[in-house]
Amino acid sequence: MKIVVLGGAGLMGRIAVKDLAASEGPQQVVIADRDTELARQVVELLPHGRSKVSIVHTDVTDRDKLVDTLRGADAVLNAVHYYFNLEVMRACLEVGAHYTDLGGLFHLTRKQLELHDEFAAAGLTAVLCMGSAPGVPNVQARYAADRLDTIESIRIYDGILPLAGDDVRFGYAIPTIIDELVMPPMVYRDGQFVEEEPLAGEEDYWFEPPVGMLRCHLSLHSEVATLPISFKDKGIRECFFKINYWGMSPEAFAKVKLLADLGFAGAEPVEVKGVQVKPRDMLVTLLADYIPPLDAFVQEPADPTHWTKEIVTEIRGTSDGQPRTYRMGTLTPIGSLPTGVAPSIAAQWLAAGRVQGQGVFAPEVALDPVPFFDELAERGIFTRVSVTETISH
């Protein structure tokens, strides 16, 4: 089994590489990244399976090089920025490789789904949106949907324990966080996709301690792009995704928001001393100093039950005519861990032929929930289910 991880030296890619290297299935794990020196450092830090990991210099904007890199892969785990998802998928079609990624931030995900017929005709399978969120919430929703006759709403809450005070730390791709900050979130309401204002819909939500009560807000996410379609036949009327300032404290987030409000998140070039500069490019470059240290991805938690993140999906519906609500909560002691582990599991299932059907699918369609949650549990990521129903005679 050969699995290529595009962007394997990045924040999320390196977590996936660690999991793939430690797993029994893959015989070859390829880190395909444009920063080969960083990739080399990642390999040196791997605690297990280092000998089966190789490195190849790849730039996804170089079509020929990308195709050459992916040739011979059983599955491709795309951990580069979501802007390039379509190009990577088309390269997978050319070389005959299965595909998974971390999400397309709603709008691109919908475009990716349009490649369904091409993947099906090629006998290939693509599982989109397989990170922490999207990814885990989709499979949570599937677990409940299998046990409900109708679904009224699917509400997703991503709670991340923030650092104390106003310390700024980005747990995943800074460009994606900036996009989520400035782009209007989409919700599904009364059978329609509706655009909301950024940061709208604030509410306090209670997560498993020590995460506790956090202020959450709407954010643009791919779960909302697929869940209402996947469960349309069950009558779903509402779906949204909320997060607590992308894991930052309100004080830390205020710093980042101020920069965005002042125009530093803008994508249009401005002239600075005769040079055209995109403000967001400069912002992303400066904020790169505020990411976890390289060796964070191999550090083990001091307390494996000291949760720093809970991904919650509440699914309201009916069973046998009676109202029933499922609360699915997936807990991890390391907030970024599921974002790399979940696509590793999906890539291994794809390469092993464990995902049924050919075409392009959302996680809730492609993956069997119970074995998926079992595999997460083997890696210290646990899912709890609570069911609320009315006793009637």
> Pairing relation of β-strands 213-218 and 238-243?
antiparallel
Q: Do you know the residue count of the chain? A: 393
Q: Which pLDDT does position 164 carry in this prediction?
A: 86
By CB atoms closer than 10 A (0-12, 13-18, 19+), residue 120 is: middle
pLDDT beneath 50, residues of the chain: none
Q: Which pLDDT does position 252 carry in this prediction?
A: 93
Dihedral (C-alpha) 187, 232, 133, 10: value to the nearest 10 degrees? -100
Q: Which pLDDT does position 393 carry in this prediction?
A: 58
Separation CA 52–CA 345 (nearest Å): 17
Segments of the chain assigned to CATH 3.30.360.10: 136-334
Q: From residue 201, how far is each of 53, 143, 196 by CA, in Å?
A: 44, 26, 9
What would the CATH number be for the domain defined by 2-131+335-367? 3.40.50.720
pTM above threshold 0.85: yes
| Position 184, amino acid | P
Over the stretch 217-249, which tens digit does the pLDDT of each residue have?
999 999 999 999 999 999 999 999 999 999 999
Q: Which CATH class is domain 136-334?
A: alpha beta
Segments of the chain assigned to CATH 3.40.50.720: 2-131+335-367
Strands (E), the chain: 2-6, 28-33, 53-57, 75-78, 98-101, 125-127, 150-160, 186-189, 192-195, 203-206, 213-218, 238-243, 270-272, 275-277, 309-319, 322-332, 359-361, 382-389
Over the stretch 30-64, which tens digit does the pLDDT of each residue have?
999 999 999 999 999 999 999 999 999 999 999 99
Name residue, tokens 């005959």: 96
Q: Which pLDDT does position 172 carry in this prediction?
A: 84
Q: Which pLDDT does position 98 carry in this prediction?
A: 99
